[in-house]
Chain A
Amino acid sequence: MRPLSAEPRRPRRDPAPSRLRYRIDRLWLRPWVRRTVNLGVPGLALVLASWTLFAQFDARDRVIAAYETLRESVVRRPQFQITSIEVPEASPDLAEQIRTAAFVTLPANSLEVDVNAVRDRVEALGAVERARVRVLTSGVLEIRAIERVPAVVWRSDRGIMLLDQGGARVAEVDSRRRRVDLPLIAGAGADAHVGEALALVAEAAPVRGRLRGLVRIGERRWDLVLDRGQVIRLPEAEPEAALKHAMALETGQKLLEREVTTLDLRDPRRPMLGLTPYGKDELARVRAEAAGGDA
C-alpha cells in the first residue's frame, strides 16, 4: 500500500567523519601503525595463546602425547625398517667385526639410526681405514669399508701389533710368526716412523735374507739388526743415505760377512767397526806376524 502522503524528504545525513574517526584514519595511514596492527598484534596474540596453553601441564602432556602417537604411526611403517646389514667386499672375519662394532640391533628403524654415528664406530676399528654407511631402499644398511693393509710388525712392551703404512694399528697378533712376510720393528715410538722404517728395509735389500728387524733407539734413531748379532747403527739425520753407504760396502767388499759385530754409522765422517773377539785376536795375530816378519 502506498501511503497517502509522501515521506517528508529528509536532508541527507552529513557524511563528515567524526573527529575521532578522522584522527584514527589518519593514524592508520601511517605505515608503521599499519604494520604493527597487521603483523604485530596477531603475532603477539599467537605467542600469548601458545604460552597460556603450554603453561598448563596436562594440556602440554596431551599435546606431546598426540605428537608422539602421530610420530609412532609414521615411524612404524615397514618402509622405514632396516632388516639386515651388508658389508660388501670385506673378508668374513672383518665383516663380523664391523657388524659387531656397528652396534645396530635388528630390526632397526631407518629414521632413528644415526648413520654418522655408525660410521664413526666402524671407523674406530683398527682394521678399517674409511667407511661409508648408507640405508638402501630395500631395508638394508650397507657399510662399505676400506680395510687397512698391515705393513710392519711392531713389537713393543704392550705386545705384538700389525701397523699400516701410516703407523695406525691394524690388529694385535699373538706371535710374530703369523706374519713372517712383514718386516719387524721394535722399540718405543717406532710406530710413529713406520714410513721411514719401510724405506730403510727397502734400502737394505742386499741383506734381506739376514735382516731380523729394526730397533728404534731412544725414540730418535734406528738400529738395523741382522742375524749373528750384527747391528748397523744408523744416524738420526739421513739414515737412508748412511744405510746406502753401508750397503755399498757390503755389496763391494762383503763387509758384513766378516768378523764384525757392529757397524757404527752414527757419525757419518767417522764410521766405526766393532769386531768379534775372534776377529780381534786374528787382527792382533796378523798384525804381530806382519811386525815379526818385518823384524
Chain B
Amino acid sequence: MRRQLYEVQRAMRARREAALRRGVIAVLDIGTSKVACLVLQFVPDEGSGAPADRPTLRQGAFRVIGAANTRSRGVAFGEVASMEECERAIRTAIQGAQKMANLRVDHVIVGFSGGRPRSYGLNGETEVRHGAVAEHDIGHVLAACEVPDHGHDFEAIHALPVNFCLDGRTGLTDPRGQIGRTLAVDMHLLTINSAALRNVIHCIRRCDLELAGVAAGVYASGLAALIEDEQELGAACVDIGAGTTGISIFVRRQMIYADSVRMGGAHVTSDIAHALRITPQEAERLKTMHGGLVATGLDDREMIDLPSALGGWDHDRRQVSRSELIGVMRPRVEEILEEVRERLDAAGFEYLPGQRIVLTGGSAQIPGFEMIASRFLGRQCRVGKPLRVRGLPGSATGSAFAGAVGLALHVSHPQDECWDFEVPADRQGARRVTRALRWFKENW
C-alpha cells in the first residue's frame, strides 16, 4: 500500500488559503549567502468565475509591501547547517520586512534550494466515469500514478501534472469538461531530502511562524526569470546561487525537470581566498568589486590592492592584477558550467523545441558570465532578472532575487498541483467517517 503522499502539503494548502483570506503572506528565500523576505499583500480576485470556496488570484494581484534581506548564517549548500544561526538570520529578515510593511505576518512560504532535488516522471491512466472529465476523474488519474520508490529519506514537494492525454489526444493542460474514455497523465514529481526539509520546517516553527508552503528554489527562480514565451517553448533556468546551482527546465508552462549542482558562488569566493591568502569576507568583496571572467589587455595593468592578512599596511602590501583574479575565478565557473551541461544533457534538453538558457542568481552578475556560459551551454544564453512585480524595491530587482520573486509569483498563481485535487475515496484509507461524508457529498 502506498503511503499518503501529500499530507503535509494538504495541511499547508489549508494554511495558505487562510493566509490568502487574511491577505498578507510572507515569502522567504533561504539561500546560502542571503535570506530574503518579501511581505505580500493580496487583493482577492472578485468577479472572475472562480469557485467561491477557494480563493484564487490573478497573476500580479499582489503588491510587495515589505522587503528585507540579510546575510545568511548557518546555511550550507542551501541546507540548514546550524539551527540557531539560521533562525537568527530568518528572524532578522522577517523583522526587517515586517517593519517596512508595518504589518505582522504569520504565514510564510519558504523556498530553498538545497536537499538534492530529484525529478521523476510519472504516468497514470484511468477510465473516465461519466463521459466528460470532471474534477474527481483528475483526482483519480493523479492518484493512479505509479510512484517510484524514491527512498524513505526523500519526500515529494512538488507533483505537477505536466500533460494530460485523453484517448490518444495529447498535450492537454486542463482536460476538465472534455469528453473521452481513457485519461492519462504525465506527472513531474520533485523530491528532496526529508531531513533538510524537516530542518527548515522546524526552523520556521522556532520563529513563531506558520509554514504555508514549501517550494523548490529552482522552480521559483524559473517562474520569475523565464518570460512566458520561454516557458511555453521550452527553456532552462540556471540559478547560480552561492551554495548550489539549480537547474530547472520548463516547457509548455510546466516544469518538467529540476536538478541541482552543489557548487556555486561561495566556491568561487573560497578559491579566491585560498589563492590570494585573504579572508573569505575580503575575497567576497574583491569578487563583487573587481571580479570578472574574461580578461583583456587592460586587466593586466589594473592592479588591485589586497587587504593584508596581518594588519600593518606599510610592510605587508600586496597587489594583484585583475587578470590574476580572473584567472582564479574562471576555472571554478567553468567547472560549474560543465556540470550544468552534463545535467542538461542527461535530462535530454537538446530535444526540446526551445534551447534558450536563462542564467540568474547572484553569481550570474559576474561580468562576462554570459560570454563564458554561451561557450558551454550553447548560443542562446542570457542573464535574466526576475519579473517586475508591483511594490518591489529597486534594491531587490537584481538577478539574485529571482528566487524570492518567483516564490511570490508561485503564491499568487499556484499551479494546480496534485494536492489541489481531492484524493478519491477508495484510496483514502481507513477513515470511515471521511469516506461516508465524501460519499454523501458525491451522491447528493
Residues in A lying within 8 Å of B, measured CB to CB: 4-6, 8-9, 11, 14-17, 19, 22-23, 25-26, 29-30
Contacts and interface: CB of A to CB of B under 8 A. Distances in A.
A17 B70 CA distance: 12
B275 interface: no
B102 interface: yes
A16 B92 contact: yes
B91 A16 contact: yes
Contact of A22 (B91, B103, B313): B91
Interface in B119-161: none
A6 B313 contact: yes
B98 A29 contact: yes
Contacts of A26: 98, 104, 208
B311 A29 contact: no
Interface in B286-332: 307, 311-314
Interface in B58-107: 70, 73, 88-89, 91-92, 94-95, 98-99, 102-104
A26 B208 CA distance: 9
Nearest to B101: A29
B14 interface: no
A274 B231 CA distance: 128
Given A17-B95, A29-B102, A4 B312 contact: yes
Given A4-B314, A23-B208, 15 more contacts: A5-B311, A5-B312, A6-B313, A11-B281, A14-B73, A14-B88, A16-B73, A16-B91, A17-B92, A22-B91, A22-B95, A25-B98, A25-B99, A26-B98, A29-B103
A32 B311 CA distance: 53
Contacts of A19: 91
B89 A16 contact: yes
A209 to B, nearest CB: 95
11 contacts: A6-B312, A14-B88, A16-B73, A16-B91, A22-B94, A22-B207, A23-B208, A25-B98, A25-B99, A26-B104, A26-B208
Contacts of A25: 95, 98-99
A29 B89 contact: no
Contact of B311 (A8, A14, A15, A22): A8
A16 B208 CA distance: 15
Given A5-B312, A11-B281, A30 B104 contact: yes
Interface residues of B, number: 21
A25 B91 CA distance: 11
Contact of B91 (A4, A11, A17, A30): A17
Nearest to B90: A16
Contacts of A22: 91, 94-95, 207-208
A152 to B, nearest CB: 81
Interface string B167-207: 00000000000000000000000000000000000000001
B92 A15 contact: yes
A38 to B, nearest CB: 14
Nearest to A31: B104
Q: Give the residue among B95, B99, B103, B281 with the most A Cβ atoms within 10 A.
A: B95
A252 B284 CA distance: 137
A5 B316 CA distance: 11
Interface string B268-282: 000000000000010
A233 B169 CA distance: 119
Nearest to A6: B311
A15 B91 contact: no
A8 B309 CA distance: 9
Contacts of B91: 16-17, 19, 22
A89 B214 CA distance: 94
Contacts of A8: 311
Contacts of A11: 281
Q: Give the residue among B70, B91, B98, B313 with the most A Cβ atoms within 10 A.
A: B91
Contacts of B92: 15-17
Top 8 nearest A-B pairs (CB, nearest first) are: A16-B88, A29-B104, A16-B92, A22-B91, A5-B311, A5-B312, A6-B311, A17-B95
A22 B314 CA distance: 44
A8 B310 CA distance: 8
A17 B94 CA distance: 10
A23 B91 CA distance: 10
A28 to B, nearest CB: 9
A281 B339 CA distance: 158
Nearest to A21: B95
A16 B95 CA distance: 9
Interface in B381-399: none
A140 to B, nearest CB: 63
A121 to B, nearest CB: 64
Contacts of B312: 4-6
A30 B102 CA distance: 10
B147 to A, nearest CB: 40
B418 to A, nearest CB: 34
Contacts of B208: 22-23, 26
B410 to A, nearest CB: 25
Contacts of B95: 17, 22, 25
A30 B98 CA distance: 11
Contacts of B313: 6
A15 B90 CA distance: 11
A268 B104 CA distance: 95
Contact of B70 (A9, A15, A30): A15
A34 B248 CA distance: 45
B92 to A, nearest CB: 4
A18 B88 CA distance: 8
Contacts of A15: 70, 92
Contacts of A23: 208
Contacts of B73: 14, 16
B35 to A, nearest CB: 10
A25 B207 CA distance: 12
Interface in B326-357: none
Contacts of A14: 73, 88
Contacts of B102: 29
A136 to B, nearest CB: 59
A19 B103 CA distance: 19
Contacts of A30: 104
Nearest to B92: A16
B23 to A, nearest CB: 14
B28 to A, nearest CB: 14
Contacts of A9: 307
A55 B248 CA distance: 76
A30 B207 CA distance: 16
A16 to B, nearest CB: 4
Contacts of B281: 11
A170 B99 CA distance: 81
